[in-house]
Amino acid sequence: MDFEQDNEWHGLPAREPSPCTDGPSENTAKMAVPQKRGWKIFWGIVLALSIIANFFLLMVLIGVIAFFATGRRDGLAEEVLRDGPRRAKIAVISVEGIINDEQFENVYRQLNYARNDRQVKGLIVRINSPGGTISGSDRIYNEICRFRQEEGKPVIAFMQGVAASGGYYTSVACERIVAEPTTITGSIGVMFGHFILQDLLEEKLGIQPVIITSGPKKDWPSSFQQITEEQRQYIQDKLISPAYNRFMEVVADGRQALSLDDVRCLADGSIYGAQEARDVNLIDEIGYLDDAIEQVKLLAGIEKAQVVEYSEPFSLTGFLSSGSRSFLKFDKDKLYELCTPQVLYLWSI
């Protein structure tokens, strides 16, 4: 009689099969439970850290986007052109392209930035412009004069490329004028122009404009009729001559070596190369940026200086808006601008 039978004979239950052969032991099962829980805790910590890290990166990304979308609050960035001690800086103010209201606002901001920096010991007004509107040119001229009077710091004009008409007008506000050898300057005078649309509207399109005025001179000159000799003389007396006389007076006042009669002889609208301009005292020196820098240091009484240039910092909104401006928006304001006569300090080829 085997063992099981013996147990049954004594009234004892039969023994279960040995766990060593039929499945994992109870001790092994108990060890597997803590190990499984440990891995769950580990991956939970990893997931939590990942969420925190991603949240932090999202906040940084939002901050970067907000910074580039709005730009710097002070509005301008400094780019170092020549190394030197920051306690003595020379700021380069740029006048580039057509002079208009937008150009004036840009120059105005640069001058104010330099005015608020106590480390700035002098200015260089870098001009590369064929001129533009009378009001824009005159306002830039006035702001440069005001800076010189209020701050008592030297201001040197540095001409590059083209500094003609309104570009030259702004330069005579400076203490001295340095021009590159290839500079074109001068063009002292006034230009008037507007479109005459009469033939286009009446003959080509069959449109007859109707203009009702309170007096015969109210619409002089008109884009809807040919200009008469009476109108031409009226424009000469009312627009051209006052602006022309103002230009000559500004040049004579800014160029001590030239009298008003001297300026009148030069103010026939002629352009001058750098050497010719130097010969007739329209400029003081032919040179490059480093020569203008030396002039400022000499007048400011400093030996070394850091030369900086102001520029617009990158702005996402500015980038997007500039892209949108590339599309032609022909609305009533644009039509008004095209049809309105303009009197300009502008050199036009």
3-state helix, strand, coil in the chain (%, to 5): 50, 20, 35
Q: What Rg do the C-alpha atoms of the chain give, in angstroms?
A: 39
Q: What are the residues whose beta carbons fall under 8 Å from the beta carbon of 127, sequence distance 6 or more?
A: 95, 96, 157, 158, 159, 160, 163, 167, 170, 171
Q: Which two tokens stand for residue 23?
A: 């499945």
Length, in residues, of the chain = 349
DSSP labels, 233-244 = HHHIIIIIHHHH
In angstroms, rounded to a whole number, what is the distance separating the alpha carbons of residues 19 and 228? Answer: 121
Torsion of CA 9, 15, 17, 23, to 10 degrees: 170
Q: By C-alpha distance, which of 110, 149, 245, 227 is closest to 188?
A: 245
What is the set of active-site residues?
Answer: 165, 218
